[in-house]
Amino acid sequence: MVSAMTVPPAAPPVCDGDLIARSRSDPEVFAVLFDRYSAMLYRYVSRRLGPETAEDVVGETFLVAFSRRHRYDVARPDARPWLFGIATKLVARQHRTEGARYRALRRSPVDGPVDGPADRVAAGVTASAARPLLLEALDGLARRDRDVLLLVAWGDLTYEEVASALDIPVGTVRSRLNRARRKVRAVLGDSNPMNEGA
């Protein structure tokens, strides 16, 4: 009788704070953070600045983070807010590029719907039709309000994580987000295009 092979349980992933602490004496360890978060940051920056600029901004984000790793509070287990904060500050330097991107996308033709279930197609058509207005609304927001809105919407950060990323109180996050949402809704005619026809 052959005994069943036992597979040792997988080790839990090392938290970001521990990785950063280890990277202070072994810089190669910092590459794990790049592997964990570069794609996420790229999607966020690409939506704001376009894919042409996103790669450079993400690369610079990790260079800045690496150079500041000695100042990171390793008691914070999740480095995402820190990295998104660095990326958002770098995006702010590109505010002209971001505004030009929104204006160019508003003028560009909207891609047609993709074949699929009727409800999904109808929702896609409605959202596509609202795209120019949404881009106009984003372009018209104050940079600080836009940063908060997009960190929540595109960065998928919680209010607390946005507060940490931007080094502002959670109450400020809430008020900026509320103001940004109100302005976007006003440009969209006080409606959510994804809920029309429901």
pLDDT digits (tens, 9 = 90+) for 10-45: 666 789 999 999 999 999 999 999 999 999 999 999
Domain ranges of the chain: 14-93, 113-198
State the average pLDDT over residues 67-90: 96
User: How much is the pLDDT for 129?
Assistant: 56
Residue 195: band (very low, low, confident or very high) from pLDDT cuts 50, 70, 90: very low
Report pLDDT digits (tens) over 90-136.
Answer: 998 887 666 676 676 666 655 544 444 444 433 443 445 567 788 88
CATH number of 113-198: 1.10.10.10
User: How much is the pLDDT for 7?
Assistant: 59
**Which has more confidence, 88 or 121?**
88
Angle, vertex CA 165, rays to CA 77 and CA 38, nearest 5: 70
Question: How many CB atoms within 10 Å of residue 98?
Answer: 23
Compute the distance between CA of residue 127 and CA of residue 140 in angstroms, rounded to an integer: 19
Lowest mean pLDDT among 65-69, 148-152, 176-180, 187-191: 187-191
State the average pLDDT over residues 1-16: 66
* CB distance 30 to 38 below 8 Å: no
What's the whole-number average pLDDT of the chain?
Answer: 82
- Percent of the chain at pLDDT > 90 equals 57
DSSP code, position 111: P
Please check whether the domain covering 14-93 is classified as CATH 3.30.360.10: no
Is pLDDT above 80 for 198?
no
- In the numeric block, the tokens 């409800």 are attached to 119
Compute the distance between CA of residue 182 and CA of residue 194 in angstroms, rounded to an integer: 16
User: How much is the pLDDT for 124?
Assistant: 40
Is pLDDT above 80 for 82?
yes
Contacts of 23 (CB under 8 A, 6+ apart): 29, 30, 33, 66, 69
**Which has more confidence, 86 or 11?**
86
Compute the distance between CA of residue 145 and CA of residue 51 in angstroms, rounded to an integer: 23
| Alpha helix segments (H runs only) across the chain | 16-23, 31-49, 51-67, 80-93, 95-107, 118-140, 143-153, 159-166, 170-187
Cα separations (Å) of 88 from 46, 166, 169? 12, 8, 17
